[in-house]
Every structure is written in structure tokens, then in C-alpha cells.
């Protein structure tokens, strides 16, 4: 059984105006590689798979998703095989698939590349081959107790939040982090917390505004906590439309997709307070806040904390610190330059030293 260092709280850092919860600093395989709160959930799920007696993991995700290298690298740590279901057959054109291949992944190629289809295919393969199915978006479905145990892993991260926080900003995509944070705050409350601001940046965060409160209500069947008595949800596309009765922590949402600010496919590179944000997720939020400075002026203080779920891993993340005794280069090149031979099942990828 692996150690439990992945449960330790990630640091709080302070910028010019805000505090930051630095989930991106959970990077056990090197600071250029896979990282963040979802990686921690992969540790939990791989450990669960091992305990249940599985020999391998199967997982489906879109070609650009860091889920591929996350699952494969952690599975390797636990002695599990990894089968990645993808709609992309040219592995060399996608850095995340390339990384997964370097970590030893096998690949199942699908003619359909949409996330729900890939998840269904991986679920069926899991049944056929007796593999553990790690769901798309690194989440879980099932009974309340299973959901509660899953979100308790991320809930631990509220332990070191500043006790004087008044507002907390959280990205909202798959909603895993947001739900976990709310579960944690219900059990370890911050005495001065008044508002939680969610930023819809795709997936359920934009398409299913009621996903968070509905999931919380299901979890309450296992935790015994009435979350509606703690949080007052109003997840309209813009908080100006929200109406509150008072007495509870307000949970509001800015839907960046639904209000037309961006689409999921857009990327917006951003850097602030020494943090290079993920261009598809947190980077969009930073741009949105900076373009609406007057509206967010009340939160430009140390009483506000921004929850940074993770940063974009780079191809150089496959060079882990203990390996980096000399400079490395890889065969990976931008799209339309296929340099890597592959089979239908496993990428034949080499790593060369100078």
C-alpha cells in the first residue's frame, strides 16, 4: 500500500490582493507534470481499485485531458495496468496522450471522441475485462456513501484555509472541487465566511446549474448533514439575478460560458502573482475578473481566497526529478508531424538523452 502523503493540505500563498489555495502545488511527480486536486482523487481511486483486487484501470477522456497521464502514472505507482480510451488515433499529436504512453498506457481507439461516449465505452470494457472503471472527469456515481467518501478526500483541503476569510472563489467545471470544498466547510466551518463565488467554465459548471446542490443533497443521506441549512444556493448565470433570504453562506455563480464570455474550447493564458493559470479553466476566470474590475473590487483583499484547482501539465513532466541527471529531449512535435510509430494498443514512444 502506498503512503498517504497525497492527503496532506496544499499551501496557502498570498499575492498582491488575494490569498490562493494552491492545489497546483500537489505535484508528486515533478512541478512540470501532472498536478492538482483531480490527481489526488486519482490516488484515492487507484488505491480503492487495488483494495478491491483489480489488476488494472480503464478510463476514457477527450484527447487533450490530463486524465490520461494522471490515471496512467498513478496506476503505475500502485502496480496497476492502464487502458486509455480515446477518440484520437495519432498519439503524437496530443501531449497528454503522449505522456500517458510514456508512462506505459495502452490505448483503445474510438471513432467517437465525445466524453460521454468515451466514458460508456470504458465502462463496457471494464465489465468485459474485469478492470476498474475510472470515470470520465475523474468523478464517481453511485450510492450516497460512495460519493461522500470520494468527496471527503478533497474536503480535507479546507483545513488550512485562513480563518478570517470572507469570500472564496472556486472554478466550476466537473464540480468535483466545489462539492468537496462545501463538504469540508460544512464539517470545518470558517467563522467569517459570507460568500462562495463559483465560476462556470464548462461541463456541469455551465450546463447543469443545479448539479452542486443536488449532489450535496444526495451526499447528505450519508453524512447526516443538512447542507441546505448551511449554504444558500442561487446559481443563476449572474449573481445580480440571485435573491437571498440571509442567515446562511451565499453560494453564487458566474457562468462564463452561459453569459457568452467564452466557450469551453477557448483558451485564455493568464499569469498573476507568480502563478501561470490553466488557459482553459482558471485563466478564463482571471481574464473575466480583470475585465470586470468594478464588480470584483470588493474582493480585492486578503479576505478573499482563490481556489486554484491545478495548472496545465507540460510534456516535460515525464522527466521526473529523480531522472533528470542530464538534459532530455523528446520526439514530440506540434500537430501534423507524426514521428512516433504506434500499434492499435500501445504507443511505441522513446525518450532520448543528448
What was the pLDDT predicted at 240? 78
Question: Which pLDDT score is estimated for 323?
Answer: 52
Cα dist. 333→70, 221, 306, 327 in Å?
A: 21, 50, 34, 17
pLDDT score at 322 = 60
Residues 329, 352 contacting (CB under 8 angstroms): yes
Rounded to whole angstroms, how far apart are CA atoms 96 and 101?
9
- What's the structural domain count of the chain? 2
Same domain, 174 and 277: yes
147 and 205 assigned to the same domain: yes
Beta carbons within 10 angstroms of residue 156's beta carbon: 17
Same-domain check for residues 218 and 284: yes
- Please check whether residue 17 lies inside any domain of the structure: yes
The model's pTM = 0.89
How many CA atoms are closer than 13 Å to the CA of 131, on its beta-carbon side? 23
Evaluate whether 178 touches 172 at the Cβ level (below 8 Å). yes
**In the structure grid, which three cell numbers stand for residue 240, read together?**
445580480
In this structure, is residue 314 part of a structural domain? Answer: no
Q: Residue 99: its pLDDT value, please?
A: 95
Say which CATH number the domain at 78 has.
Answer: 3.40.50.1100
Within a domain: residue 190? yes
d(CA 26, CA 116): 28
The answer to whether residue 124 is domain-embedded is yes
Cβ atoms of residues 182 and 158 within 8 Å: no
Distance CA 285, CA 161 (A): 21
Task: Please check whether residues 172 and 266 belong to one and the same domain.
Answer: yes
Q: Are residues 173 and 239 in the same domain?
A: yes
Kind of pairing, strands 81-86 and 106-109?
parallel
pLDDT at 1: 41
* Same domain, yes or no: 120 and 233: no
Low-confidence ranges of the chain (pLDDT < 50): 1-2, 324-354
Amino acid at each position: 500500500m502506498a503512503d498517504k502523503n497525497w492527503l496532506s493540505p496544499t499551501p496557502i500563498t498570498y499575492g498582491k490582493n488575494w490569498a490562493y489555495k494552491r492545489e497546483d502545488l500537489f505535484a508528486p511527480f515533478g512541478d512540470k507534470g501532472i498536478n492538482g486536486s483531480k490527481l489526488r482523487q486519482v490516488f484515492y481511486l487507484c488505491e480503492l481499485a487495488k483494495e478491491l483486487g483489480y489488476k488494472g484501470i480503464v478510463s476514457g477522456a477527450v484527447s487533450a485531458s490530463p486524465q490520461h497521464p494522471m490515471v496512467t502514472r498513478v496506476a503505475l505507482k500502485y502496480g496497476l495496468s492502464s487502458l486509455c480510451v480515446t477518440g484520437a488515433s495519432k498519439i503524437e499529436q496530443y501531449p497528454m496522450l503522449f505522456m500517458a504512453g510514456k508512462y506505459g498506457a495502452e490505448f483503445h481507439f474510438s471513432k467517437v471522441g465525445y466524453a460521454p461516449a468515451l466514458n460508456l465505452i470504458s465502462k463496457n470494457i471494464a465489465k468485459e475485462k474485469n478492470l476498474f472503471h475510472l470515470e470520465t472527469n475523474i468523478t464517481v456515481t453511485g450510492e450516497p456513501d460512495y460519493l461522500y467518501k470520494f468527496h471527503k478526500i478533497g474536503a480535507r483541503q479546507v483545513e488550512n484555509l485562513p480563518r478570517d476569510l470572507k469570500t472564496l472563489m472556486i472554478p466550476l467545471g466537473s464540480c468535483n472541487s466545489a462539492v468537496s470544498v462545501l463538504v469540508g466547510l460544512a464539517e470545518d466551518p470558517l467563522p467569517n465566511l459570507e460568500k462562495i463565488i463559483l465560476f462556470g467554465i464548462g461541463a456541469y459548471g455551465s450546463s447543469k446549474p443545479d448539479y452542486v446542490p443536488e449532489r450535496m443533497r444526495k451526499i447528505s443521506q450519508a453524512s447526516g448533514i443538512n447542507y441546505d441549512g448551511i449554504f444558500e444556493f442561487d446559481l443563476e448565470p449572474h449573481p445580480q439575478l440571485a435573491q437571498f433570504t440571509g442567515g446562511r453562506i451565499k453560494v453564487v455563480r458566474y457562468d462564463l460560458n452561459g453569459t457568452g464570455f467564452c466557450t469551453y474550447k477557448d483558451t485564455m493564458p493568464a499569469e498573476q502573482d507568480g502563478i501561470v493559470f490553466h488557459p482553459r479553466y482558471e485563466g478564463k476566470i482571471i481574464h473575466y475578473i480583470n475585465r470586470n474590475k468594478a464588480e470584483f473590487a470588493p474582493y480585492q483583499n486578503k479576505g478573499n481566497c482563490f481556489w486554484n484547482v491545478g495548472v496545465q501539465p507540460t510534456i516535460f513532466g515525464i522527466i521526473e526529478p529523480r531522472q533528470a541527471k542530464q538534459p532530455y529531449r523528446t520526439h514530440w512535435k506540434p500537430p501534423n508531424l507524426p514521428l512516433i510509430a504506434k500499434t492499435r494498443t500501445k504507443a511505441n514512444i522513446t525518450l532520448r538523452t543528448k
